[in-house]
C-alpha cells in the first residue's frame, strides 16, 4: 500500500479504552517484567477496535483535535488517518511523509518514575511500548518525519535521534502549517511551539474518543508553579460544539462521557468565581442528549468549597443515585503545608486564606461522600523548599480522610519545561526522607482500604467480561496481601526495599 500522507497514532497503552475503566490505564506504569503482555492487553489495556482500513475507531481526545484541525485546514481524508498501532501496515507506506505520535508520558518521567525506582523491576509498559513504536519496521523502512506531540512531548528533548521534531503546546492552529512545511521540504526546527487556540476555534472531533472524553475548556488561572495547564490562559468552548463532540461519541456507542477541563466548575466563568447558571446549563444540555453516565475529568477543591450547592445540583441533573451510581473527578491536594502553598500555589485556596486548606479539603471530602463523588487526588512529594514538617502535615491530612472513599496518588516532583519550575531539580528515591516513606505508606493504606469499594463502583462503567472482573477481584486480594509488607515498612519511615 502507498500509505497515508499524514499518520497520527500512539502506542498500545494510549490507544485503549481500558475495558471501560479509565483508571485501569494506570497499569501501564507497571514494569513489563511483572506481567505477560497477553494478560496485560486482556485485562488492563485491550486495544481499541480497528476499522477495515486500519483506522482506530477510538483515539485520545487530543489526537482527535489534531485530526480535525488538519481536515479543517484543507487536508483530505485520503491524506490523513488516525491509525491503529496494530494496523500500521494499512497506514504507513512510501507516500507517508509524517507520522505524528501523541503521548502523555512517553519516557516515564512523571507517574512511572516512582514505581520504577521503588520496586526496581525494569522499564514500564508505557515506555517500552512507546519505544517499540518509534522503532516500528515501517517507520524505519519508509523514513517519514516523526513528530512527537501531546502533554508528554517535552520528555523527548535530547532523548532520541529517531525523533525529527518535538511539538510543544497546542496543535490546532500551528500543526497544519508545520505539516505543509515538512511536506514542502522547508526547514522546520527540532522543537516547535504551538500557538494557543481560542475556545471557539477548538474544532469538533471527527471520531470518537478514548473514555468518551469531551473537551469543554483549557487553561487555569490559579498559577501553581509546577503545573503546565496554569501556563495557559483559561478558555471555554461554546455549548453547541461541546454537544457536537458528545454526539460523535454517543453515535459511536460511547455511552459514558467525561467532560474535560482543568476545573469543570469554572466552565463559562470570566473571573475567579464559578458561573453557576452557565455551568448548570451545560450539564442539563449534555444530560439531555442521552448519555448513560456523565463525569468530569478535573475539579479544583477550592471551586467546590466556595460553591458547594453546585455539586449537589450537578449530581441531581446527572442523576447520581438513579441513572448512575457515582461521579468521579481528579483533584489536586498536593500538600497540606501553608508554607509550600505560599511558595508554589498562592491562589490554591482563593478567596480563602492558605491556612484554611486542610479544613477545606476535609469539608470537600465530606461533601463528596454525601453526593457519591469519587475523588482521585494527587500529592506532590519533594517540591522545592519542602521540609520534614511539611510532609508530616500532609500525612496527618491523609490520615484524617481515611473514612472517605477515593484514591490518593503520591507523585514525585518532576520539573516540566513549560512550568515556572522547569529548571528545578527533580525529586527521587535518593532524596526521600523517612517522613516521605511514611506518607507514601499512609496513601497506600488509604487506597487498599477503599479498593473493593472502588472496584464495585467502577464496574458500572466497565465493558469487561466476567472473567476479567473475577481476575480484577483476584488482583485486589493479591494486592491487599502482598502490599501490606511494603506498607508496614513505609509506615515505619523505611523505603519499600
Please determine, for residue 475, whether its predicted confidence score (pLDDT) is greater than 80.
no
Residues 187 and 216 in one domain: no
Pinpoint the alpha helices (H) of 381-433. Answer: 388-400
Please determine, for residue 114, whether its predicted confidence score (pLDDT) is greater than 60.
no
Q: Quick one: pLDDT at residue 419?
A: 60
End residue of a domain, out of 194, 226, 255: 194
In a domain, 142, yes or no: yes
Please determine, for residue 116, whether its predicted confidence score (pLDDT) is greater than 60.
no
Please determine, for residue 469, whether its predicted confidence score (pLDDT) is greater than 70.
no
Please determine, for residue 163, whether its predicted confidence score (pLDDT) is greater than 70.
yes
Read off the pLDDT of residues 330-348 as tens digits, 9 standing for 90 and up.
Answer: 999 999 999 999 999 999 9
Residues 270 and 404 in one domain: yes
Mean of the per-residue pLDDT values of the chain: 90
Please determine, for residue 115, whether its predicted confidence score (pLDDT) is greater than 60.
no
Query: How many domains are there within the chain?
Result: 2
Q: Quick one: pLDDT at residue 198?
A: 95
Read off the pLDDT of residues 406-461 as tens digits, 9 standing for 90 and up.
Answer: 999 998 888 776 666 667 777 878 889 999 999 999 998 999 899 878 877 777 77
DSSP 282: H
Structural domain containing residue 242? 211-491
Q: Torsion angle of alpha carbons 224, 358, 294, 315, nearest 10°? A: -140
Q: Quick one: pLDDT at residue 124?
A: 80
Q: Quick one: pLDDT at residue 36?
A: 83
Residues 221 and 128 in one domain: no
Residues 359 and 462 in one domain: yes
Kindly state the average pLDDT of the residues 468-497. 74
Q: Quick one: pLDDT at residue 477?
A: 67
* CATH code of the domain covering residue 218: 3.80.30.20
Q: How far apart are CA 82 and CA 78, in angstroms?
A: 11
For 142-164, give the DSSP string. H-PEEEEESTTGGGGTTT-TT-S
Kindly state the average pLDDT of the residues 230-258. 93
Residues 162 and 246 in one domain: no
Q: What is the CA radius of gyration of the chain?
A: 22
Kindly state the average pLDDT of the residues 167-186. 97
Contacts of residue 488, Cβ cutoff 8 Å, sequence gap at least 6? 441
Q: How far apart are CA 108 and CA 28, in angstroms?
A: 10
Whether pTM > 0.75 for this model: the answer is yes
In a domain, 497, yes or no: no
Kindly state the average pLDDT of the residues 169-178. 96
Task: Select the more confidently predicted residue: 191 or 109.
Answer: 191
Strands (E), 153-238: 165-169, 191-194, 208-209, 213-215, 217-218, 235-236
Distances (CA, A) of 134 to 55, 137, 148, 177, 237: 19, 9, 10, 23, 34
Amino acid at each position: 500500500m502507498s500509505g497515508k500522507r499524514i499518520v497520527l497514532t500512539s502506542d498500545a497503552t494510549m490507544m485503549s479504552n481500558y475495558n471501560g475503566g479509565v483508571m485501569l490505564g494506570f497499569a501501564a506504569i507497571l514494569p513489563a517484567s511483572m506481567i505477560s503482555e497477553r494478560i496485560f492487553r486482556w485485562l488492563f489495556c485491550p486495544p481499541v477496535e480497528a476499522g477495515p482500513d486500519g483506522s482506530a475507531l477510538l483515539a485520545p481526545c487530543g489526537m482527535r483535535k489534531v485530526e480535525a484541525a488538519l481536515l479543517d485546514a484543507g487536508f483530505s481524508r485520503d491524506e490523513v488517518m488516525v491509525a491503529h498501532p496494530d494496523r500500521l501496515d494499512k497506514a504507513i507506506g512510501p507516500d507517508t511523509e509524517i507520522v505524528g505520535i501523541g503521548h502523555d508520558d512517553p519516557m516515564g518521567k512523571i507517574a512511572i518514575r516512582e514505581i520504577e525506582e521503588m520496586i526496581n523491576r525494569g522499564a514500564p509498559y508505557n515506555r517500552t511500548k512507546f519505544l517499540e513504536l518509534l522503532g516500528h519496521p515501517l517507520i524505519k523502512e519508509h523514513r517519514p518525519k516523526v513528530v512527537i506531540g501531546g502533554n508528554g512531548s517535552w520528555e523527548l528533548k535530547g532523548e532520541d535521534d529517531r525523533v525529527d521534531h518535538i511539538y510543544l503546546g497546542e496543535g490546532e492552529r500551528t500543526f497544519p502549517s508545520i505539516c505543509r512545511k515538512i511536506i514542502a521540504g522547508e526547514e522546520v526546527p527540532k522543537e516547535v511551539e504551538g500557538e494557543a487556540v481560542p475556545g471557539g476555534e477548538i474544532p469538533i472531533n471527527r471520531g470518537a474518543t478514548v473514555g468518551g472524553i469531551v473537551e469543554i475548556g483549557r487553561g487555569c488561572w490559579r498559577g501553581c508553579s509546577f503545573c503546565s495547564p496554569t501556563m495557559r490562559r483559561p478558555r471555554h468552548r461554546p455549548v453547541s460544539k461541546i454537544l457536537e463532540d458528545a454526539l460523535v461519541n454517543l453515535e459511536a456507542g460511547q455511552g459514558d462521557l467525561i467532560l474535560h477541563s482543568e476545573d469543570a466548575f469554572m466552565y463559562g466563568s470570566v473571573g475567579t468565581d464559578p458561573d453557576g447558571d452557565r455551568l448548570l446549563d451545560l450539564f442539563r444540555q449534555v444530560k439531555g442528549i442521552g448519555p448513560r453516565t456523565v463525569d468530569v475529568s478535573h475539579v479544583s477543591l477550592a471551586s467546590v468549597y466556595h460553591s458547594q450547592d453546585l455539586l449537589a445540583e450537578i449530581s441531581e441533573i446527572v442523576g447520581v443515585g438513579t441513572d448512575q451510581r457515582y461521579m468521579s473527578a481528579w483533584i489536586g491536594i498536593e500538600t497540606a503545608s501553608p508554607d509550600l502553598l505560599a511558595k508554589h500555589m498562592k491562589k490554591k485556596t482563593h478567596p480563602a486564606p492558605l491556612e484554611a486548606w486542610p479544613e477545606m479539603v476535609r469539608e470537600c471530602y465530606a461533601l463528596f461522600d454525601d453526593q457519591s463523588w469519587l475523588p482521585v487526588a494527587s500529592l506532590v512529594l519533594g517540591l522545592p523548599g519542602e521540609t520534614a514538617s511539611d510532609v508530616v502535615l500532609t500525612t496527618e491530612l491523609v490520615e484524617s480522610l481515611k473514612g472517605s472513599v477515593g484514591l490518593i496518588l503520591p507523585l514525585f516532583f518532576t520539573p516540566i519545561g513549560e512550568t515556572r519550575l522547569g529548571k528545578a531539580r527533580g525529586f527521587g528515591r535518593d532524596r526521600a526522607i523517612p517522613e516521605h516513606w511514611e506518607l507514601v505508606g499512609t496513601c497506600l493504606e488509604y487506597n487498599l482500604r477503599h479498593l473493593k469499594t472502588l472496584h464495585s463502583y467502577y464496574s458500572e462503567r466497565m465493558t469487561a467480561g466476567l472473567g476479567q472482573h473475577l481476575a480484577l477481584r483476584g488482583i485486589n486480594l493479591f494486592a491487599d496481601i502482598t502490599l501490606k509488607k511494603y506498607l508496614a515498612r513505609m509506615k515505619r519511615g523505611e523505603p519499600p526495599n
